[in-house]
Structure 1
C-alpha cells in the first residue's frame, strides 16, 4: 500500500509527522475542554469512560509517534499512515457513544481525509477514504444517543446547528494552518531535490572536465619530453655554446619547458593521476606564500599586494586542486586589474579566510546571482566562466564556502572560507 520513501523525502515526512503530533495534542486539549463544558455547565450526561479511553489512546499514539520520530529513520510513512488510521478509529469510537451521525462533529472525518491526501501516497490516501466511509457506516448502526436534559430537548436542532458551526470553524482553521505548513514542507523538499539534481549535474560536468584535462595533459607530455631532449642536444653542440645570446635563449627555453611540465603535473594531480610526485606536507603560511611568490616571480607580477594576518601556523597537506582554483581567482583578478591585486589571509576561528580583491569593473548582478554555475563570464570567451565554477565546487568538496561581491570603492572581491581540518596534517597539529 505504501512504497518505501526515497531518502530525499524522509525529512519532509518527519516534518509532517511532527506537525501531526502538534495537531493531535490540540485535539486532546480540545476534547477534554469539550467534555468539561458539555458535562459541566450544559449538564449533558456523557459516557466518560469510553471518551476518556479514546483520549488516552490519542495520547499513547502521540508518545509512540514521538519515540519513532526520534529513534528511527526508516518506515516513517508506515508510521504516519498507521497513526492516521488510529485517529479515525478513535474518532469513530467517540462519536459512537455521543450520538453517531447525529453528532455535528462527524464532519471531522473530512479533516482526516484531507490530511491523508496531503501527506500520504495516493494508495494510502484512498485507504483513508475507505476507512472513513467504513467508519460512517459503522456509526449508522445502533449508536448511543445523547441524553439531553429536559430543558434542552426542545433546542436539539439549535444545538446541532451550533455544533456544526463550531465544527466548520475548527476544520477551516486547522486545514489552513496545516495546508500552509505542508505546502512549505513540500516547497523545501522540492528545493532540496532541485539542489541535489544541480549538484549531480555539476559533479558530472567536473568529471568530464577532469577527463578532458587529464587526456590533454597526457598528450602534452610527449612533445614536452621531446623539447627537453632537443634543448639538451642543442646545449651539447659546441658551435651553439659559442653564441652567448643563443645560450641565454636556451636557458629560457629550458625554464619554459620545465614550467609546462609543472603545469601538466598539477593538472594530472588534480585529476587524481599524479606523475609520481607525492603529496607534500607543508604549512598554511608556506602554502599561501608559495602561491603568491609564484605570481610575483615566475609570472613577473609586481603589483600583487599580500597581507598575512593568519596568526599561528598550521601543518597542512598541499592540495593541488586548491592551489589551482586559488590561482584561477588571482588570474581573473589580474586580467581585469593588472595595475593592482590585493590578497589577504586571515584566520576566523578554525578556518582560513582568504580574500582576493581587484580594481576592475566588478561582477555583474547576473554573475553574483549565479555564483558557482558554469559558463557565466563577463569576458565573452567561448567556454569561459569556469574559474568560479571550479572554485565553488572544490570548496564544497572541502567543506568550505565562497562569497563574491563588489567593493564600494570599485572592483570585485572574492572571499574563500576553508575549514582547517579539511587539509590539516595530521588533524589538530600546529607548528
Structure 2
C-alpha cells in the first residue's frame, strides 16, 4: 500500500553495460565478415590492419568488462570516450575497406544515436561533428575494394547487398538500445518521483516534529497545574469515595500525559539509544502491550508470539515504539471491544499483524490511508498512520492495510531486524 524506498539505479553504468554488449556483437560480426569476405566473396581484404583493429577492440572490451565490476560511477566523459573508441575503429576499418563506398559507413549512425539519447547536448554535437568529419575524409582517402574478378556488376550487387545488411543491422542495434534506454529512463523517472515524494514527506515530518516539540514544552505547565489541582481536590474531598476515585483516575491520566511528553522530549533529535537496556523481542512486545493497555484498558487483546526461542535481543528506538502504539490505537478505535495481535520472527525479519473487527476500509479510504491530515474519525489530526508508516520505512520496513474476510482490517508490518539487533 505504501511505496517502498528504492535506491537510484546507476543509469550511466547500465548504458556502459549495453555498449559492452554491442561491442561484443561488433567483434563477432567482424570475425564473421572476414571469413565471408575472404572465403565466399573472394574480396582482397588487408588482414593485418583488420586483425589489429579487432584485437584492440577486444582489449578495450576486456577493460570495459573490468570497469563494470568497479563501484565508482561512470561519468559522461568516460562514456563518450567509449563511443569515441568505436568511431575510431569504424573509421580505420573503412579506410582499408573501400572508405565511403563501403555500405557499412552507415554504422556511424549507431554511436551518434546512442550519444544523442544518453549524453548532454555538447557531447552529442561533438559526436555529430566527429562522425561527419570521418565520413567526409573517407570520401577522398581510402583503399579501394573490388572483387578479384574485377566484374563491375558483381561489385554493384555486393554494394546493394551490403546496404541492405547495414540497414538491417543498424535498425536492430538502434532499436535494441533505444528500447532498453527508454525502459531505464522510465524507471529512473519513477525513482525520481519517489525520491521527491519522500523528500516532501520528510519535510512534513520535520515540521510536525518541530510543532510537537514546541507543544510538549508548552503543555508541561498546564499539566503540572492539573496534577496539583487534582491532588488538592483529592485531599479536600477525601470523604467522597466516588469523587476521589475519579480524581485518582484523572491524576493517573495526567501523569501518563507527562510521561509521554517527557519521553518525546528525550527522544527529540536523538537516534537509537545504544546505552538503553537490550531485551528479547518477545519481552519487548509484552512491555509494549502492557504500556498500551494502560491507555486502552477496555480493549480485550489476544496476542501470540511465534519464533525461535530465545528470541533475538534488540534495542528498540522510541520512535518505533510510538509508531506501533499508533497502529494499535487505530485498530482499537475501529474495534473498541477486541484486537488480535500476531508477531512472528524468522530469518532476521519480523512480521507483526494487528487484526480488528471494525467496519473495514472503503476503496476511497484505502487509496488515501496514510496521507497526512486524512482521517475518517470524528476526532484526531490524521497524522498517526502517516507518522507510523514513515517511521517504519525509516527502519527498512513497510505497512500494508487490507480488509479481512468477515469485516475488519488487517494491518501487516514487515520489518527487518538488522537495525534493531545488538551490534557485536
TM-score, structure 2 length as denominator? 0.90
Alignment of 1:164-183 (within 5 A): 164-183=163-182
- What does residue 414 of structure 2 align with? 417
- What does residue 338 of structure 1 align with? 336
The C-alpha deviation readout for 1:322-377, integer Å capped at 9, x for no partner, is 12111111111122222331111111222221100112232344454566443444
Task: Describe the shift of the 1:49–1:183 C-alpha distance in structure 2 as closer, same or farther (beyond 3 A).
Answer: same
1:157 and 1:373 map into 2 onto residues whose CA distance is 69
The C-alpha deviation readout for 1:109-151, integer Å capped at 9, x for no partner, is 1122111101111100110001101101221223100131226
The answer to whether 1:27 aligns with 2:26 is: yes
Q: Higher mean Cα deviation, 85-94 or 296-305? A: 296-305
Q: Higher mean Cα deviation, 68-77 or 174-183? A: 68-77
- Note the residue ranges of structure 2 that are not aligned, 5 or more in a row: 1-6
1:88 and 1:410 map into 2 onto residues whose CA distance is 66
Tell me which of 418, 424, 427 is aligned to 2:423: 427
Q: Is the 8 A contact 2:281 2:314 kept in 1?
A: yes
Task: Describe the shift of the 1:84–1:10 C-alpha distance in structure 2 as closer, same or farther (beyond 3 A).
Answer: farther
- What does residue 4 of structure 1 align with? none
SS in 2 for 1:16: helix
2:378 and 2:12 map into 1 onto residues whose CA distance is 46
Matched residue pairs, number? 415
- What does residue 143 of structure 2 align with? 144
SS in 2 for 1:43: coil
Shift of 1:245: 3.8
Task: Describe the shift of the 1:311–1:9 C-alpha distance in structure 2 as closer, same or farther (beyond 3 A).
Answer: closer
1:167 and 1:282 map into 2 onto residues whose CA distance is 69
- Note the residue ranges of structure 1 that are not aligned, 5 or more in a row: 1-7
- What does residue 51 of structure 1 align with? 50
Q: Is the 8 A contact 2:361 2:403 kept in 1?
A: yes
- What does residue 131 of structure 1 align with? 130
Q: Is the 8 A contact 1:373 1:389 kept in 2?
A: yes
- What does residue 287 of structure 1 align with? 284
Select the structure with the greater relative contact order (CA < 8 A; seq sep ≥ 6). 2
Q: Higher mean Cα deviation, 100-109 or 145-154? A: 145-154
1:417 and 1:318 map into 2 onto residues whose CA distance is 15
- What does residue 96 of structure 1 align with? 95
The answer to whether 1:303 aligns with 2:324 is: no
**CA-atom RMSD in angstroms:** 2.5
Q: Is the 8 A contact 1:10 1:76 kept in 2?
A: no
1:32 and 1:284 map into 2 onto residues whose CA distance is 63
Q: Higher mean Cα deviation, 307-316 or 264-273? A: 264-273
2:90 and 2:68 map into 1 onto residues whose CA distance is 23
The C-alpha deviation readout for 1:73-129, integer Å capped at 9, x for no partner, is 145322210010111111010011111111111111112211110111110011000
The C-alpha deviation readout for 1:3-27, integer Å capped at 9, x for no partner, is xxxxx87700000000110011001
Shift of 1:49: 0.8
